[in-house]
Amino acid sequence: MELKFKFSPATMDQISILMFIGKSGMHDGTSDHMAVSFVKGFIMLTWNLGAGPRRIFTSRPIEKDKEEYLVKLGRSERRAWLAVEGLGNVTGRSKGKFVQLDVVPMLYLGGYDSLYFSTLPHDLPLHTGFEGCIFDVELKAGSVVIPLQSSRHALGRAIGQCGISECHENSCQNGGICLHHASTFSCLCQDGWFGPLCSLQYNPCDETRHNCSSGSVCVPYEDTYECNCPFGKTGKFCQNNNELTDITFSGKRSFLSLIAVDLIPTKFDIQFELRPLSEMGLVLYIGSNGKSFFSLSIQSGFLELRTLPANRIQTTKEVLILRSRKLLAKGNWYNVRVGQFGRKLYVAVENITNTVLLERNDHLKLSGDLIFLGGLADMSELPTVAVATLPIPYTGCLRRLKIDTKPIDFNFSTVKISQNVDDCDGTPCGGDYCKNNGICWLDSQLKPHCSCTKFYGGSRCENPVSCQEKGCRNGGKCVNYGCNCVMGFSGAFCETATKVTTPEFMGNSYIILKKIDKKRDLGKIGVKSLYINFTTADKNGLIFWGSKHENFVGIGIEGGHLKLAYTIKNGNRTIIEIPETESLADGIWHTLEISFGKTNLLVKIDGKIVLSQNQSNFVADLFDLSDGVLYLGGLPTEKNETIWQKTHNMFHAYFKGCIKAFGINNILAVTDFSHYDGSNIGICNVI
């Protein structure tokens, strides 16, 4: 490998980084890396292949006042060399026997992205970022020469165009002093002059001159001003008081943040409708100090999710990136769903879903963080790796937000702070105003009202009528003022017919199996083996239960691992837990196979044997379920009875997740559950 570049220092009195390539995270005395340093005119090359650092450097400093300097460096196994134009060639060999440089493919020029360079190797000099220009960077691998500046995507901060100062002659007017800040500038005005360029003899945001209403913020421009409006205020001067339902973001310093929501660490779901008016922009951001974040943006018309797990460092290589396949046309509404289910992260647009898997040791730490919509108060605080390009606020509309199925209204109880947001359709009757299929209408004063269905009341149809008053439909039972619906029906009063092919269990659900198919009654079948195909992100839950008199068999998850509990004819209870396996509460579909032989118990997970155990007291047809009833996901309980009591103190919780298939005695017989009885069963929409 060979690398060459040119540089021009702004000052000789600096100790700084010219180039660095290394590993992720904190570097120690054995971390592989390669670095070029500028040490008050001397050029130093440091490299470490894992056995300790080696340094070589020029014999004298570079000549002053040259326009540019050429640096060449390379490495072959343990040997490395450094050549600086006019100063000759220096070579050396690294310590130890290692010959490979094991680093991430990220080349840093002029600085590093950790705070105060604190994660860099301690064998490097105490560095600052380089002051000056670096250009014409080329990498040579074998016979291939790659001009890096023109062929690779680049990230950085505080970078300006070399040789050009933003402080040209006419930047600041009327004696103002120009302060150069890399790619921009600011003006320090003389007394009596105001404005970004010191061109005004008055401050346009003086409280005696601007018309921004109380609570808004005046923003000065070169010869005018604009008003930043707080939540609920709209208009040029923020003079209007509006109740907002469908939110529109102007894209000009606009954003909205919700009061912190407690998200379940391994499972959360965010749904909303989106109407973009631009091809770029930040839609959603959850994060704290960039240590872990969840960032959704539009990039060239496609939604892109970028996530940084809490155990990773903030580099492009460590960020998980997922793009949707659905192109968003400007001006159209789209149903969007993003979130996490176990190890799965997903983005769904109009039911077109894309997923990516977290590593097993990855975890997001987002609970308690603010949720930002449309942008941030200061877009420069967005981590550089949270979006693919420059951080741009979202322009367009957003409505019907739900977090973990709970509708979120935009009002003063849910919004912590916002700026420059307005109503999308310009009328009080937005898509979010009336809830639960209520119809919005305007009176002669243009005030909104809702006509509710018979199942809901309240000014916005937000309150379900008590089932004790209306009763539950289609065989549903009224429990604690809400309806528990039988299989095949849903809704607040079980009024909506649904066909459940693959069932979702909600944590208070169960399915009753009396027949394996139309011909075979479970009461006539002895259970010799079981097959279950399931997925869950919850660490505890009862998956299967069968019993007769005092005998029972229960299969579930406890602490993320498989648990099997049973009694046989002698009444002795046996509990088998298999903690050695990877967690099953990871959102991935798993197959579970259990065979009950005369003297042997065999358990397979995803085709792999995890338990083979001799049981001398087994008998043929271990569970002779002559009453012919099996349960999936839970089982019915009496009033004030818990699942813990019902399962003889074996399982703490109902199952939450989906079951795709169930079989008995090596017969995969049930893949369509629509003909079975059950309670509180939903349609599986697990990604």
Q: Is the pLDDT of residue 472 over 60?
A: yes
Res. 82 pLDDT band, cuts 50 70 90: very high
Beta strand 371-373 with 255-258 is antiparallel
Which residue would you say has higher pLDDT here, 240 or 517?
240
Q: How confident is the model at residue 555 (pLDDT cuts 50, 70, 90)?
A: very high
Whether the predicted pLDDT of 292 surpasses 90: no
DSSP letters spanning 548-586: ETTEEEEEEEETTEEEEEEE-TT--EEEEEETTSPPS-S
Q: What tokens were used for 504? A: 């979702």
Which of the residue ranges 42-51, 286-295, 369-378 would you say has the lowest mean pLDDT?
Answer: 286-295
Q: What is the mean pLDDT of the chain?
A: 86
Residue 386 main-chain phi, psi, to 5 deg: -80, -15
Nearest to 17 by CA among 113, 121, 111: 111
Output the pLDDT for position 615: 64
Listed range (150-164, 618-632, 658-672) with the worst mean pLDDT: 618-632
Show the CA angle centred on residue 360, arms to residues 357 and 362, nearest 5°.
80
Higher per-residue confidence, 446 vs 248: 248
Which of the 8 DSSP states describes residue 645?
Answer: H
Q: Indicate if the pLDDT at residue 152 is higher than 80.
A: no
Name the more confident of 518 and 229: 229
Q: Quick one: average pLDDT of 611-615?
A: 80
Q: Which residues contact 33 (CB under 8 A, 6 or more apart)?
A: 20, 21, 22, 23, 27, 46, 47, 48, 103, 121
Is 503-683 the same fold as 433-465? no
Per-residue confidence (pLDDT) for residue 640, from 0 to 100: 83
Rounded mean pLDDT, 132-147: 81
Q: Where are the domains of the chain?
A: 2-151, 247-423, 433-465, 468-497, 503-683
Q: Provide the pLDDT confidence category of residue 626 given band limits of 50, 70 and 90.
A: very low
CB atoms within 10 A of CB 54: 18
The C-alpha atoms of residue 321 and residue 575 are separated, in whole angstroms, by 42
pLDDT at 447 over 90: no
Placement of tokens 């003389």 in the chain:
190
pLDDT band, residue 531 (cuts 50/70/90): very high
Mean pLDDT of all residues in 434-454: 87
Contacts of 259 (CB under 8 A, 6+ apart): 370, 413, 414, 415, 416
The pLDDT tens digits of the residues spanning 332-347 come to 999 999 999 999 999 9
Residue 470 host element (H or E): helix 467-470
CATH of 2-151, one of 3.10.20.30, 2.40.50.140, 2.60.120.200, 2.40.30.10: 2.60.120.200
For the segment 279-304, the average pLDDT, to the nearest whole number, is 90
Contact by Cβ (8 Å): 389, 209: no
Write out the two tokens for 110: 């002029």
> Is pLDDT larger for residue 466 or for residue 419?
419
What is the 8-class DSSP label of residue 524?
G
**Other C-beta atoms lying within 10 Å of the C-beta of residue 216:** 21
Do 507 and 653 touch, CB atoms closer than 8 A? yes
Long-range contacts for 288-296 (Cβ within 8 Å, ≥24 apart)? 288/365, 288/366, 288/368, 288/369, 290/314, 290/383, 290/386, 291/365, 292/364, 292/365, 292/366, 293/366, 293/383, 293/386, 294/364, 294/366, 295/382, 295/383, 295/386, 295/387, 296/338, 296/347
Give φ, ψ of 676 to 5 degrees.
-100, 160
Choose the weakest-confidence range: 156-170, 222-236, 537-551: 156-170
pLDDT at 251: 93
The pLDDT of residue 263 is: 86
- Residues pairing with 602 in the sheet: 595, 612
How far is residue 565's CA from residue 601's CA, in Å, rounded to a whole number?
12
Cα 673 to Cα 687: distance, rounded to the nearest angstrom? 19
CATH 2.10.25 fits 468-497, yes or no: yes
Residue 439 pLDDT greater than 80, yes or no: yes
Q: At residue 625, does pLDDT exceed 70?
A: no
User: Regarding predicted confidence, which is higher, 560 or 289?
Assistant: 560
Stretch (H or E) spanning 258 = strand 255-258
Confidence at residue 620, expressed as pLDDT on a 0 to 100 scale: 41
Q: What is the pLDDT of residue 589?
A: 94
Residue matched to tokens 């947001």: 421
Q: Are strands 128-129 and 15-22 parallel, antiparallel or unpaired?
A: parallel
Residues 6+ apart with CB under 8 A from 207: none
| Residue 180, beta-bridge partner list | 185
* Residue 554 near residue 562 (C-beta atoms within 8 A): no
Contacts of 289 (CB under 8 A, 6+ apart): none
Name the percent of the chain lying above pLDDT 90: 45
CA distance 422 to 228: 12
- Give the SS3 label for residue 298: strand
The per-residue pLDDT for 513 is: 84
CA distance 299 to 303: 6
Class of domain 433-465: mainly beta
pLDDT at 629: 78
For 132-152, b where at least 16 C-beta lie within 10 A, e where not — what string? Answer: bbbeebbbeeeeeeeeeeeee
- pLDDT over 80 (residue 457): yes
Res 213 pLDDT > 90: yes
CATH of 247-423, one of 2.30.42.10, 3.40.50.300, 2.60.120.200, 2.40.30.10: 2.60.120.200
Query: Is residue 633 very low, low, confident or very high in pLDDT (cuts 50, 70, 90)?
Result: very high
pLDDT at 654 over 80: yes
Residue with tokens 């607040």: 492
- The answer for 567, left when phi > 0, alpha when psi is -120 to 50, beta otherwise, is beta
What is the percentage of the chain residues whose pLDDT exceeds 70?
91
Name the CATH topology of 503-683. Answer: Jelly Rolls (2.60.120)
Rounded Cα gap, residues 84 and 523, in angstroms: 87
pTM (two decimals): 0.73
pLDDT the model gives residue 115: 76
Instruction: Answer left, alpha or beta for residue 375, where phi above 0 means left and psi between -120 and 50 means alpha.
Output: left
The mean pLDDT value for 39-55 works out to 94
649 contacts: CB under 8 Å, gap ≥ 6:
none
Report CA-CA distances (Å) from 43 to 64, 88, 117, 244, 269.
13, 12, 19, 61, 53
